Amino acid sequence: MTRSPAAPGGTLVLDSEGLAKAVLRDRTVTTWLALARTDDLRVITSAATLVEVVHPRINRPALEWTLSRIVVEPVTEAIARHAATLLAGAGLHGHKYAIDAMLSATALAAPGPATILTSDPEDLTTLCGERATVIKI
C-alpha cells in the first residue's frame, strides 16, 4: 500500500463498508487504521452508519471492540441540516442518499483534512466535492 494521501492531524472517516471491514479485520482497512494512528488522525464514523452496519450476523463483540477504538459522532440538528443542504446542492433527495449525506456532513464538520473510506465513492464525491478525499475500499 502506498502512503496515505491523508494529511497529519486530519480525520479518517469510515462509512458502513469501512466500518464493516474494520470489524472483519480486513487487511486494507486495518492498514488504513494503523496509518491513521501513526499520522495522528482522528478515526470517526456517523451514528447513522451504525444503522447500516448492524445486522443479525455481525460479530457483536468485534463490532463493540472496533467502536471502542473510534469516535461515533452524533447526528445533531446541525449535521442533519448540513446533510440536507449537501443533498440539495447535489440535486439528490430521499432515503437512498440520506445516510451518505449524514456521513458526508459529519466528515466535513470534522477537523480537516477529511479522508473517507467507502465502497461508494461516486455518491460521497458528489456530496463532498473537493472538500474531502474519498478513497474506494
Which residues form the domain of 53? 11-136
Reported as a single tens digit per residue, the pLDDT across 77-111 is 999 999 999 999 999 988 899 999 999 999 999 99
Q: What is the pTM (predicted TM-score) of this model?
A: 0.91
In a domain, 120, yes or no: yes
H or E element that contains 44:
strand 42-46
End-to-end CA distance of the chain: 12
Map residue 58 onto helix, strand or coil. coil
Reported as a single tens digit per residue, the pLDDT across 44-65 is 999 999 999 999 999 999 999 9
In a domain, 4, yes or no: no
Give me the pLDDT at residue 6, please. Answer: 47
Reported as a single tens digit per residue, the pLDDT across 14-48 is 999 999 999 999 999 999 999 999 999 999 999 99
What CATH number does residue 77 fall under?
3.40.50.1010
The domain tally of the chain equals 1
- Distance of alpha carbon 129 from alpha carbon 123, whole angstroms: 10
pLDDT band for position 5 (50/70/90)? low
In a domain, 2, yes or no: no
